Structure 1
């Protein structure tokens, strides 16, 4: 197993990509702290990990709440004695053109993605620096590297997470910390499923046209990226043994974006 006895914390891990990665980390031998808005949602992932023979801990965490993030990281350290891997995954979406967008909706999306990533990073780095190193990972998007209409706050936040990842790679190197960002294309998660009818309304097209001509148009094979695709990459980056891979964006998108 590639992550035996490693201690990991993943935000937004009650469902979707975060849950898939948490379960993959558990299968690979890591002790996994599953953070989500409620203990109930985190607990469902924990139950799945434990049913497969893994070790996991449920943590209620609003990633925009400074005290909640600090307390969650401290809970992991108090329970298992350290923190080796932290993944800022929590995210939300808002579909609307810029010219009608409320500041409150802009701030809500940016806060969850970018402020949440910062708060987790700061708390995790304090532990990693004190204990000889670790791995910071971020769940970016192809929208960390390019833009789509109707998603301005999401695009801006994901670009910001790429910048944070690179800054952490520079600062963390002397402390043994590596930092990378995963940039998926469209994955059929609840977040994406919610967007399909929203984009259909905004664009005046059918939901099937959203899938075929918006979400998958630029792929090489007309396929969604899968949870398993993203989870496998997250395991690989967590297990990679050196700073040969740091400060990098890794696109997993069926060719939706190429770099």
Structure 2
């Protein structure tokens, strides 16, 4: 898997899965724009992953803000001369029962996951289409396939990413652009660590039971998916050489969901 001289934009890349994907892309020869709502953290991540600074760029970007997305993508294209890969990874989580869920929280979560995916895709396509190539990777979830309690907007958003990827795959095919979705199981990131006590309170069970009886109960081995697992999958999708693999989703979940 070779990404030498490819230019990748990874959103939500200052920590967690996004940062690990940026690390793997750099290890496979790519130049990487590390985009995050927190520019200071993006800069720290870029310095850590690419101390020389020759193959990385930190970009401040709220993916739900159209002006910031357009400006950030243009900045990446000016700096590196192209955008070959987009990883739409930025995400947030808000949990709660549907009958009590605030509409403002619903809109906030969908804005980050769905509006962010749309806005970054649209901005990157204007650089991919003219050169006849590109790979777009959306960070879905096992929740792109099935539901869990307390996660109505998250499940809705992750299902929506599969639909978006399929449309981009069909429209992008004539321009050499592929689109696919990675669907991880539970990955022990700060986002998941925040959910554990929240779900324990909502469900009236212990944090240990949230992990064993809710999050990992349907895996084949009771193990969390790792950020390394997800990053390797991203490299595979980004480097795949043809339209044979487009409009698809790959589940990385220790067997939680099998398709």
- Normalising by structure 1, we get a TM-score of 0.98
- Matched with 1:248 is 248
For residues 128-167 of structure 1, the aligned pairs below 5 Å read 128-167=128-167
How many residues are matched?
259
- Matched with 1:235 is 235
Quick one: distance in 2 between partners of 1:75 and 1:177? 21
What RMSD over aligned residues (CA atoms) do the two structures have, in Å?
1.1
| Unaligned residue ranges in structure 1 (runs of 5+) | none
Deviation string, structure 1 residues 10-33 (Cα, Å, up to 9, x no partner): 100010100000111011110000
- Matched with 1:222 is 222
Deviation string, structure 1 residues 120-154 (Cα, Å, up to 9, x no partner): 00001111001211001100000011100000000
Please tell me whether the aligned partners of residues 13 and 89 of structure 1 are also in contact (alpha carbons under 8 angstroms): yes
- Matched with 2:46 is 46
- Matched with 2:64 is 64
Quick one: distance in 2 between partners of 1:89 and 1:206? 30
| Unaligned residue ranges in structure 2 (runs of 5+) | none
Cα offset for 1:49?
1.8
Please tell me whether the aligned partners of residues 46 and 53 of structure 2 are also in contact (alpha carbons under 8 angstroms): no
Cα offset for 1:51?
3.3
SS of 2:50's equivalent? helix
Cα offset for 1:38?
1.7
Please tell me whether the aligned partners of residues 76 and 83 of structure 2 are also in contact (alpha carbons under 8 angstroms): yes
Please tell me whether the aligned partners of residues 95 and 195 of structure 2 are also in contact (alpha carbons under 8 angstroms): yes
- Matched with 2:200 is 200
Cα offset for 1:53?
8.2
User: Deviating runs (4+, > 4 A) in structure 1?
Assistant: none
Please tell me whether the aligned partners of residues 129 and 175 of structure 1 are also in contact (alpha carbons under 8 angstroms): yes
Quick one: distance in 2 between partners of 1:159 and 1:134? 23
For residues 4-153 of structure 1, the aligned pairs below 5 Å read 4-51=4-51, 55-153=55-153
Cα offset for 1:54?
6.6
